[in-house]
């Protein structure tokens, strides 16, 4: 991976104290209110800052709203994707372009209260390289979603090879050292929550209350969330791949035992017309198992395929307030 060349009109990497990376997709109405709360806070709390929006191919006027903010404050800048690449990729692009000694990642919809950043910075100045926001209550979310979230964390704790603090999401501060490491990871099925934990460093949590979404609706359908959770588990664990060996072994042993039992029964009681139901049941059962394990292998093979293609993670269409692209085209 190549390192960004220093741009002429922008401070070089780590000359700004704090970068705030905000992935946005269709958040035109939220840009103004967010900046109104965020900018005064940043001016008060840090010596220098930039607010880096990553426009994830928004269909609405999000970019125009950001341009207006850039006119008032040139520290508000943006990278705009040529299409929607997803929030995870938007965050990766944000980290690529951020120049701060520390980087805060937050949502645009004001669900992540900007005021929490002050506590983040405080902890960072105390020496923590990673400060994550910890949701104290999820009452704003549906029961079903909370249930699934809980199941996911349980599964991850059990099978994942990395520890995830529960309630910690993307809202966090990452020190430059951590950002450099994250930038060097070329994974495509990106599951940032796992990566944040994987890189290590001294970390601490700051509790915050998730606010109501200011404008618009969530962009995460149930299907997308499920896909995300699945990516999370399969990127950080090989258990789903390995477990089929054991299940297959057990099933075969069971089948062997059943065969012996059938043989004895036939010897003692003689044969009736039976055989048909057990045949059907066993055939379907085994086809099911085979399909499942094939599917699992497919998951991983698909992942290898995606890595091997080495496509760039994203394509930048245009920028606001940035004279030069910091991101390498090919990672
Ligand atoms: N987002 C994005 N790309 C997407 C979907 C969402 O950049 O494809 C951004 C969105 O604009 C917001 C953040 O990610 O700033 C969180 O999205 P959202 O509020 O829809 O998710 P939720 O809070 O429901 O998890
Ligand atoms: Mg939200």
Is the C-beta atom of 178 inside 6 A of ligand 1? no
Distance CA 196, CA 194 (A): 5
pLDDT mean over 69-75: 89
Nearest CA to ligand 1 atom 23: 218
- Tell which wins on pLDDT, 154 or 190: 154
pLDDT band, residue 238 (cuts 50/70/90): low
| pLDDT tens string 31-57 | 999 999 999 999 999 999 999 999 998
**197, 171, 47, 179: which is closest to 111 by C-alpha?**
171
pLDDT mean over 201-214: 80
| pLDDT tens string 7-21 | 445 666 667 899 999
pLDDT at 244 over 80: no
Choose one of 34, 106, 107 to mutate for the ligand 1 pocket test, by most ligand atoms within 8 angstroms of C-beta. 107
Q: What is the pTM of this model?
A: 0.70
The pLDDT score that the predictor gives to residue 14 is 62
Atom of ligand 1 nearest to the CA of 23: 7
pLDDT band, residue 24 (cuts 50/70/90): very high
Distance CA 325, CA 331 (A): 14
pLDDT mean over 103-121: 91
pLDDT at 282 over 70: yes
pLDDT at 331 over 50: no
Going by C-beta distance under 8 Å and a sequence separation of 6 or more, which residues neighbour residue 138? Answer: 146, 149, 167, 210
ipTM of the complex: 0.93
Is the C-beta atom of 24 inside 6 A of ligand 1? yes
The pLDDT score that the predictor gives to residue 161 is 67
């Amino acid at each position: 991976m190549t390192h960004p060349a220093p741009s002429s009109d922008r401070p070089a990497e780590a000359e700004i104290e704090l970068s705030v990376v905000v992935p946005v997709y269709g958040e035109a109405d939220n840009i103004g209110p967010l900046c109104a709360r965020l900018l005064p806070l940043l001016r008060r709390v840090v010596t220098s800052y930039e607010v880096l929006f990553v426009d994830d191919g928004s269909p609405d006027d999000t970019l125009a709203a950001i341009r207006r903010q850039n006119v008032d404050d040139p520290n508000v800048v943006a990278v705009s994707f040529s299409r929607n690449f997803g929030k995870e990729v938007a965050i990766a692009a944000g980290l690529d372009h951020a120049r701060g000694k520390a980087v805060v990642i937050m949502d645009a919809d004001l669900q992540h209260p900007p005021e929490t950043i002050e506590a983040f910075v405080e902890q960072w100045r105390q020496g923590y390289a990673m400060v994550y926001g910890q949701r104290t209550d999820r009452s704003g979310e549906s029961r079903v979603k909370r249930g699934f979230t809980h199941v996911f964390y349980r599964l991850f704790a059990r099978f994942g090879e990395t520890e995830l603090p529960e309630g910690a999401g993307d809202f966090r501060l990452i020190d430059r050292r951590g950002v450099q490491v994250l930038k060097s990871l070329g994974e495509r099925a990106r599951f940032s929550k796992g990566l944040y934990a994987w890189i290590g460093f001294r970390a601490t949590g700051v509790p915050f209350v998730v606010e109501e979404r200011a404008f618009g609706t969530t962009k995460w359908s149930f299907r997308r969330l499920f896909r995300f959770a699945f990516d999370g588990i399969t990127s950080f664990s090989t258990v789903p791949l390995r477990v089929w060996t054991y299940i297959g072994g057990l099933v075969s042993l069971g089948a062997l035992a059943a065969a012996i039992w059938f043989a004895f029964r036939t010897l003692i009681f003689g044969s009736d017309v039976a055989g048909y139901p057990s045949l059907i049941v066993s055939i379907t059962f085994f086809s099911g198992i085979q399909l499942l394990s094939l599917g699992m292998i497919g998951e991983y093979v698909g992942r290898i395929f995606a890595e091997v293609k080495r496509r760039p993670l994203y394509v930048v269409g245009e920028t606001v307030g940035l004279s030069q692209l910091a991101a390498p085209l090919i990672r």
